[in-house]
């Protein structure tokens, strides 16, 4: 799918820098975005626009909506929506930083960074809890069907809707549990990643089993661990053809379907949450033709 930002479907990089940015009121956002569109994104960048910005730039994109905060059974899901999201993907931390700075410089007349986070690959793609993350991700054509816009509007073909949540772990709380209790939280065995035959109803993979939703709720998850002076956790990133699958899963995780809360909340909780639309590309450059950038 050559109209999709290549970093969406590519494997996880070894290092990343995530930026979330707000627009400066009254600034010329169109001009800044045109500068950003000069960049060849390759697999190095994935870029998403927030719903208020898209609306201001004149695109009536009905499927785009702000991340909604949720009150679950004993757990809060916050919304920290911003205007722009940049995922800088690299083989080393310096490269991720320099690439992110390139974007910041191109955008500086109209956008400022409100949240910066560095991510990294842990071993072969494990969450910091030690469990493999991404096993049940759709592959090939199924990944395209799950992650990319499926409507008839040609200008939107190749675009994607991404939900981003920074989860903060309590790794000591997880480590204090027996191996069996930890495996029950995820619903898989840490030692060999096998799905537990009798996983409890609160097990994460039971809560989120993609084919158990009506309609089925497939997502392309591209999350990466983070760790800094404020703690550690997972930067959860899920691309969808819309936000419907993510929202259905989130509601079930927090117990709004049946009162059963996902075991993940025993050692982790989200501290941010935002939705972005990732525009299509043309020859590797952001294709902003659907927006009125006059
Ligand atoms: C702390 C945050 C999270 C952690 C550590 C985590 C970890 C995991 C792990 C270890 C698996 C099993 C392997 C796999 O198939 O990837 C998994 C599966 C999955 N997770 Fe998460 N996850 C987190 C948050 C979320 C959120 C917020 C959602 C969606 C709202 C989600 C959706 C899924 C889905 C759809 C699956 C595959 C289920 C299936 O069809 O078998 N996860 N996650």
**Which residue, judged by its Cα, is nearest atom 43 of ligand 1?**
133
Please work out whether the CB of residue 208 comes within 6 Å of at least one atom of ligand 1: yes
Residue 262, preceding peptide bond in cis (omega within 30° of 0): no
Position in ligand 1 atom list of the atom nearest CA 129: 5
Position in ligand 1 atom list of the atom nearest CA 131: 10
**Which residue, judged by its Cα, is nearest atom 38 of ligand 1?**
209
Please work out whether the CB of residue 167 comes within 6 Å of at least one atom of ligand 1: yes
Position in ligand 1 atom list of the atom nearest CA 127: 5
Q: What is the pLDDT of residue 251?
A: 98
**Inter-helix orientation angle 93-107/29-36, to 10°:** 140
Q: What is the pLDDT of residue 278?
A: 98
Q: How far is the CA of 282 from the centre of ligand 1 (A)?
A: 32
The alpha carbon torsion through 118, 121, 122, 124 (nearest 10 deg) reads 170
Q: How far is the CA of 36 from the centre of ligand 1 (A)?
A: 32
Lookup: tokens for 146: 């799950």
Partnered with residue 228 across adjacent β-strands are 231
Percent of residues, the chain, with pLDDT higher than 90:
95
- In whole angstroms, give the CA distance from residue 250 to residue 101: 33
Q: What is the pLDDT of residue 242?
A: 97
pLDDT of residue 150 exceeding 90, the answer is: no
**Is pLDDT larger for residue 27 or for residue 1?**
27
Q: What is the mean pLDDT of residues 231-259?
A: 98
Please work out whether the CB of residue 219 comes within 6 Å of at least one atom of ligand 1: yes
Please state the domain extents for the chain: 6-286
Q: What is the pLDDT of residue 211?
A: 97
Average pLDDT of the chain to the nearest whole number = 97
CATH-assigned architecture of domain 6-286: 2-Layer Sandwich (3.30)
Please work out whether the CB of residue 209 comes within 6 Å of at least one atom of ligand 1: yes
- Predicted confidence band at 294 (pLDDT cuts at 50, 70, 90)? low
pLDDT digits (tens, 9 = 90+) for 152-191: 998 999 999 999 999 999 999 999 999 999 999 999 999 9
pLDDT digits (tens, 9 = 90+) for 5-39: 999 999 999 999 999 999 999 999 999 999 999 99
Position in ligand 1 atom list of the atom nearest CA 134: 16
Q: How far is the CA of 74 from the centre of ligand 1 (A)?
A: 20
Nearest to 270 by CA among 124, 72, 57, 44: 72
- Predicted confidence band at 292 (pLDDT cuts at 50, 70, 90)? confident
pLDDT digits (tens, 9 = 90+) for 57-103: 998 899 999 999 999 999 999 999 999 999 999 999 999 999 999 99
Q: How many CB atoms lie within 10 A of CB 244?
A: 14
pLDDT digits (tens, 9 = 90+) for 191-225: 999 999 999 999 999 999 999 999 999 999 999 99
Please work out whether the CB of residue 236 comes within 6 Å of at least one atom of ligand 1: yes
Q: State the Cα angle at 168 between 166 and 170, rounded to 5°.
A: 165
Please work out whether the CB of residue 252 comes within 6 Å of at least one atom of ligand 1: no
- Predicted confidence band at 139 (pLDDT cuts at 50, 70, 90)? very high
- Predicted confidence band at 243 (pLDDT cuts at 50, 70, 90)? very high
Please work out whether the CB of residue 262 comes within 6 Å of at least one atom of ligand 1: no
Lookup: tokens for 229: 């002076």
Could you tell me the pTM of the whole model? 0.98
Please work out whether the CB of residue 235 comes within 6 Å of at least one atom of ligand 1: no
Q: How many CB atoms lie within 10 A of CB 80?
A: 17
Rg from Cα positions in the chain: 19
Q: What is the mean pLDDT of residues 114-138?
A: 97
Q: How far is the CA of 204 from the centre of ligand 1 (A)?
A: 6
Give SS3 for 186. helix
- Predicted confidence band at 248 (pLDDT cuts at 50, 70, 90)? very high
12, 130, 136, 220: residue to mutate for ligand 1 pocket, most atoms within 8 A of CB: 136
Q: How far is the CA of 199 from the centre of ligand 1 (A)?
A: 15
Position in ligand 1 atom list of the atom nearest CA 211: 40
């Amino acid at each position: 799918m050559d109209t999709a930002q290549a970093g969406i479907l590519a494997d996880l990089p070894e290092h990343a820098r995530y930026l979330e940015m707000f627009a400066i009121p009254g600034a010329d956002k169109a001009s800044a975005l045109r500068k950003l569109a000069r960049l060849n994104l390759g697999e190095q960048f994935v870029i998403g626009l927030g719903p208020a910005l898209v609306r201001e730039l004149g695109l009536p994109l009905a499927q785009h909506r702000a991340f909604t905060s949720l009150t679950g059974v004993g757990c809060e899901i916050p919304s920290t929506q911003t205007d722009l999201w940049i995922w800088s993907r690299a083989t080393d931390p310096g490269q991720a930083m320099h690439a992110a700075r390139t974007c910041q410089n191109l955008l500086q007349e109209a956008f400022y960074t409100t949240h910066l986070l560095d991510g990294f690959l842990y071993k072969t793609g494990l969450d910091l809890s030690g469990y493999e993350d991404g096993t049940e991700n759709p592959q090939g054509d199924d990944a395209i069907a799950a992650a990319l816009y499926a409507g008839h509007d040609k200008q939107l073909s190749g675009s994607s809707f991404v939900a981003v949540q920074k989860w903060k772990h309590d790794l000591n709380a997880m480590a204090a549990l027996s191996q069996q209790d930890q495996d029950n939280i995820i619903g898989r065995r840490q030692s060999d990643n096998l799905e537990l035959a009798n996983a409890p109803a609160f097990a994460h993979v039971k809560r989120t089993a993609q084919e158990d939703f009506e309609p089925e709720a497939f997502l392309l998850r591209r999350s990466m661990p983070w760790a800094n002076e404020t703690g550690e956790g997972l930067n959860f990133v899920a691309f969808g053809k819309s936000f419907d699958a993510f929202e259905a899963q989130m509601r079930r995780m927090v117990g709004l379907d049946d009162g059963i809360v996902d075991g993940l909340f025993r050692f982790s909780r989200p501290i941010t949450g935002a939705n972005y639309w990732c525009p299509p590309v043309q020859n590797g450059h952001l294709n902003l033709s659907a927006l009125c950038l006059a």
